[in-house]
Amino acid sequence: SQQGEEDPQALSIQEGENATMNCSYKTSINNLQWYRQNSGRGLVHLILIRSNEREKHSGRLRVTLDTSKKSSSLLITASRAADTASYFCATRRSNDYKLSFGAGTTVTVRA
Amino acid sequence: EAQVTQNPRYLITVTGKKLTVTCSQNMNHEYMSWYRQDPGLGLRQIYYSMNVEVTDKGDVPEGYKVSRKEKRNFPLILESPSPNQTSLYFCASSWVAGGSGTDTQYFGPGTRLTVL
């Protein structure tokens, strides 16, 4: 069953703009991860945020986690054409060995 | 180079003809997993393995089998493929963080399977 749901399903922005996507989940988690997938290829891990963390940064990426709302957001600042990809959130529930993925947000960065 | 490899990358087969998709990782990871990806559904877990000889069902295990005889290999077996198993399949591996779960997963390049 899908634990995470991303919003929006698709996003189109101009190069240089910021892109924000959200992920909501249903049950308590140990951590939440964001992955990127370039068209038809394998997923690449971007960032992991644990349930006791509220914000994390990695380069142009900023992730927030609000466990009270069961939601997370991924912000990509100063987007580039190379950021065009699908982005997935994945949650690992407490005391569970599985990662559950959402359906993803497709981001298109226009030059 | 640390990697997860899958073979074949592309496969077209017919209903009922048994097939195996291989997956191998060179990072000595304990945890390995198979996912299928279908449009609009994201990734759904088929089976996973916490270590050698330890496997368990994911969310969509029907019609699939796996084995984990060696730490590095985790083949996916379709004994009698059907058209609804046409999909993009990914293998992934990771450490078992703290012995109680999995964190960052490393994905293979994917296998695109078509069952006619």
The two tokens of residue A40 are: 């038809």
Give the whole-number percent of chain B exceeding pLDDT 90: 84
Predicted local confidence at residue A24, as pLDDT: 95
Q: How is residue A7 written in tokens?
A: 């919003």
Q: Is A107 helix (H, G, I), strand (E, B) or coil?
A: strand
Kindly determine whether residue A33 and residue B35, on different chains, have CB atoms separated by under 8 Å: no
Q: Which residues contact residue A38 at a Cβ distance below 8 angstroms, ignoring those fewer than 6 apart? A: A44, A84, A85
Q: Is pLDDT at B98 greater than 60 in this prediction?
A: no
**Interface mutation target, options A21, A99, A100, A101, chain B, most CBs of B under 10 Å:** A99
Do the Cβ atoms of B50 and A97 come within 8 Å? yes
Question: What percent of chain B has pLDDT above 70?
Answer: 95
pLDDT band at residue B40 under the 50/70/90 scheme: confident
- Tell me the per-residue pLDDT of A30-64, one tens digit each, with 9 for 90 and over: 899 999 999 878 899 999 999 999 999 999 999 99
Helix (H) or strand (E) holding A20: strand A19-24
For residues B34-62, give the mean pLDDT.
93
Q: Which residues of A touch B43 (CB under 8 A)?
A: 43, 88, 90, 101
Q: Does A42 touch chain B (CB under 8 A)?
A: yes
Cα B62 to Cα A77: distance, rounded to the nearest angstrom: 42
| Residue A6 confidence class, pLDDT cut points 50, 70, 90 | confident
Q: Residues in chain B, how many?
A: 116
- Band (pLDDT 50/70/90 cuts) for residue B103 is confident
Q: What is the DSSP string of B1-43?
A: ---EEEE-SEEEE-TT--EEEEEEESS--SEEEEEEEETTTEE
Q: In the prediction, which pLDDT does B85 show?
A: 98
pLDDT in tens, A75-110: 999 999 999 999 999 998 877 777 889 889 999 999
Mean pLDDT across B86-105: 80
Between chains, do B45 and A1 touch, taking CB under 8 Å as contact?
no
